[in-house]
C-alpha cells in the first residue's frame, strides 16, 4: 500500500507499508530553508554529543532569522517500517510465555508534512502495549495539527520545535489522564499508569522546510547515517511520558534538526533496534549470512519494494535455527537474536 502525502491517512503497525512523500493537496512545490545554523550540531559541523533539551526554546528559535523560502520538491522520499515481538516475550526455553508485542509504530501525513513515531511499552507493565499503541496513533495527529503545509518562511516547526513538542506532551498527558480515570474507575492512579500507560517515544517530523528527530525515553536514531543509541538509562528505567501525571517529569529531547532539502536517509526505532545494531557481526540463526548494520534498512532497495520486507527480516532474525558443529558434526540449536520487541522505521530519498 502506498499513500501520497497530504491525504491524512495513517499507516498502523498492523499493516507496514511504504509511502511516497509527494506534493501537498494544493499541488504546490514545498520548500526548505536555504540558510541558517543547525543548533543540533557543533561549530565544526559534527553531531552534538548531547541532544538539546526540549525546553531550550530561545537557542533553537534563533535559527528562524534569515530563513529563505527556497522551494524544493518532496516527492522523492519513501518510508517503510516493521515490528516483531522479542524472544523473551514469546518464550523462555521450552516454556511458552505468550506476551504481546509491546511496541507500536505509526506514520501519518497531512498538509505536506509527515510525522512518524515508534513507541515502546514498559516491559514490566502487564498491558503497556495499550498505552504504546494509543500514543503511536495520537502523537502524529497532535503534532500535525499545528503544522502548516505550505506557509510563509519560518513557518512550521522551524525554530519552534521545542515549544510544539512541549505542547504536544502536555496535550498527550491530558488524554492519558482521561484514559487512566476511565480504566481505573476509582483505582489508584499510579497502579493504572504502571499497568497500562508506561511507554517511550522516538519520532520524527519531516516538514516542508525542516526535519526534526525527537525522543522521550530510549531507542535509536540515525539521520544521513549519523546518530546512535538513546540510553540506556540507570536501572533500565527510561523517563516514561506518563510519569508526568504523577510528578514533574522530563520533556521531549530534540535529537537532530536539519533542512529537509539536506535529508537523504533517516531511521528511528525502539531500544530493541539497538540490540539489533549490536548483533551486526553475528549470523542469522541457521545460516552463514551476517546480520549486518542497521544501514541496510535504508540502503537496500528490497525493503522498499516489498511493504512487508522489514517485518519479514526482523522475523527471520528472531527465528531459532540449527547449526552443525564443525568438530562433532552434530546439529546444535541457535537462539533467536532479539530478546526485546524490535521496531524500526526507515525513510530515504527515492532513487
Q: pLDDT per residue over 34-82, tens digit each?
A: 233 333 333 333 333 334 333 332 232 322 222 332 434 457 789 999 9
Residue 98 C-beta-side C-alpha neighbours within 13 Å:
2
Whether residue 58 is contained in a domain is answered as yes
- pLDDT of 148: 53
Whether residue 190 is contained in a domain is answered as yes
- pLDDT of 74: 54
Whether residue 133 is contained in a domain is answered as yes
Whether residue 21 is contained in a domain is answered as yes
**Rounded-to-integer distance, Cα 68 and Cα 195, Å:** 48
**Rounded-to-integer distance, Cα 297 and Cα 343, Å:** 12
Q: What is the pLDDT along the chain (351 residues), one digit of tens a residue?
A: 333 333 334 444 433 333 444 333 222 222 222 233 333 333 333 333 334 333 332 232 322 222 332 434 457 789 999 999 887 766 555 555 567 889 999 999 887 889 999 999 987 778 889 999 999 999 999 998 865 544 333 344 445 788 889 999 999 999 999 999 888 766 788 899 999 999 999 999 998 889 999 999 999 999 999 999 998 888 878 999 999 999 988 899 999 999 999 999 999 999 989 999 998 899 888 888 898 999 999 999 999 999 899 999 999 888 877 777 777 778 777 777 788 899 999 999 988
CATH at residue 101: 3.60.40.10
Whether residue 271 is contained in a domain is answered as yes
Whether residue 144 is contained in a domain is answered as yes
Whether residue 317 is contained in a domain is answered as no
Tell me the whole-structure pTM to 2 decimals: 0.76
Structural domain range at position 152: 10-284+293-308+339-349
Whether residue 202 is contained in a domain is answered as yes
Q: Are 204 and 77 in contact, with CB atoms under 8 Å apart?
A: no
- pLDDT of 36: 34
**Rounded-to-integer distance, Cα 182 and Cα 196, Å:** 12
Give the CA distances from residue 9 to residues 15, 174, 289, in Å, rounded to whole numbers and listed in that order: 13, 24, 37
- pLDDT of 105: 97
Helices (H), the chain: 57-61, 87-90, 128-144, 161-184, 189-196, 271-278, 296-299, 302-305, 309-317
- pLDDT of 48: 36
Cis peptide before 232 (omega within 30 of 0): yes
Number of domains within the chain: 1
Amino acid at each position: 500500500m502506498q499513500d501520497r502525502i497530504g491525504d491524512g491517512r495513517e499507516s498502523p503497525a498492523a499493516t507496514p507499508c511504504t509511502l511516497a512523500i509527494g506534493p501537498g493537496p494544493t499541488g504546490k512545490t514545498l520548500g526548505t530553508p536555504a540558510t541558517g545554523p543547525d543548533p543540533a550540531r557543533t561549530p565544526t559541523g559534527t553531531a552534538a554529543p548531547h541532544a538539546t533539551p526540549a525546553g531550550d526554546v530561545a537557542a533553537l528559535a534563533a535559527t528562524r532569522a534569515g530563513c529563505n523560502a527556497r522551494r524544493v520538491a518532496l516527492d522523492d522520499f519513501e518510508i517503510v517500517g516493521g515490528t516483531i515481538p522479542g524472544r523473551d516475550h514469546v518464550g523462555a526455553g521450552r516454556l511458552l510465555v505468550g506476551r504481546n508485542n509491546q511496541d507500536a509504530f505509526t506514520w501519518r501525513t497531512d498538509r505536506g508534512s509527515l510525522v512518524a513515531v515508534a513507541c515502546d511499552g514498559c516491559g514490566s507493565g502487564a498491558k503497556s502495549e495499550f498505552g504504546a499503541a494509543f500514543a503511536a496513533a495520537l502523537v502524529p495527529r497532535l503534532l500535525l495539527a499545528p503544522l502548516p503545509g505550505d506557509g510563509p518562511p519560518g513557518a512550521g516547526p522551524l525554530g519552534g520545535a521545542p515549544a510544539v513538542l512541549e505542547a504536544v506532551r502536555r496535550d498527550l498527558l491530558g488524554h492519558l489522564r482521561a484514559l487512566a480515570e476511565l480504566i481505573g474507575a476509582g483505582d489508584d492512579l499510579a497502579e493504572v499508569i504502571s499497568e497500562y500507560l508506561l511507554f517511550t517515544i522516538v519520532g520524527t517530523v519531516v516538514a516542508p522546510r525542516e526535519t526534526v528527530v525527537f525522543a522521550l525515553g530510549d531507542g535509536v536514531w540515525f539521520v544521513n547515517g549519523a546518530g546512535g543509541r538513546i540510553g540506556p538509562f540507570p536501572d533500565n528505567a527510561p523517563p516514561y511520558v506518563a510519569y508526568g501525571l504523577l510528578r514533574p517529569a522530563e520533556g521531549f529531547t530534540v535529537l537532530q534538526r536539519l533542512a529537509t532539502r539536506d535529508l537523504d536517509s533517516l531511521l528511528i526505532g525502539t531500544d530493541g533496534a539497538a540490540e539489533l545494531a549490536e548483533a551486526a557481526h553475528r549470523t542469522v540463526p541457521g545460516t552463514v549470512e551476517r546480520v549486518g548494520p542497521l544501514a541496510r534498512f535504508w540502503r537496500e532497495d528490497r525493503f522498499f519494494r516489498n511493504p512487508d520486507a522489514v517485518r519479514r527480516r526482523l522475523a527471520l532474525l528472531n527465528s531459532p535455527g540449527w547449526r552443525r558443529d564443525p568438530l562433532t558434526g552434530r546439529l546444535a540449536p541457535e537462539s533467536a537474536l532479539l530478546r526485546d520487541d524490535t521496531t524500526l522505521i526507515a525513510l530515504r530519498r527515492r532513487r
